[in-house]
Amino acid sequence: MITLESDGQLKELINENQTILLFSADWCPDCRVIEPVLPDIEERFKEWTFVYVDRDQFIHVCGEHDVFGIPSFVAFQKGEEVGRFVSKDRKTQEEIESFISNIKS
């Protein structure tokens, strides 16, 4: 998982790759629950680049993408949003994998 470091990096990742943004924060208990399964998810979906977006550091990015609850996922292909799993609810590995599997390529 890549940790987002700048707006320029975000633009590059979204435009050049199949990218899934994971909006999260260190203080979020539901975000910590899914952390142990993220490596398995990344392994299963190697065609995607996963990017950790710290909600507190990149609050403007959350606003730009209408992400008001975490953990949340937004998927992009060639600069276009192709899927979102956005809410404040806790998410299971099965729900996350189902979301990714159902993204239209």
Domain that holds residue 67: 2-101
Q: What integer pLDDT is reported at residue 18 of this predicted model? A: 94
- Mean pLDDT (the chain, rounded): 93
For the whole model, what pTM was predicted? 0.91
CA atoms of 30 and 35, how far apart (whole Å) = 9
Active site residue 62: no
pLDDT in tens, 33-43: 999 999 999 99
pLDDT in tens, 43-64: 999 999 999 999 999 999 999 9
> What is residue 11's three-state secondary structure?
helix
Q: Which of 20, 21, 22, 28 is catalytic?
A: 28
Q: What integer pLDDT is reported at residue 88 of this predicted model? A: 79
The alpha carbon of 90 is separated from its chain's Cα centroid by a whole number of angstroms, namely 14
The type of residue at 61 is: V
Domains of the chain: total:
1
pLDDT at 82 over 90: yes
Q: Which of 10, 31, 38, 41 is catalytic?
A: 31
Active site residue 31: yes
The proportion of the chain whose per-residue pLDDT surpasses 90, expressed as a percent, equals 84
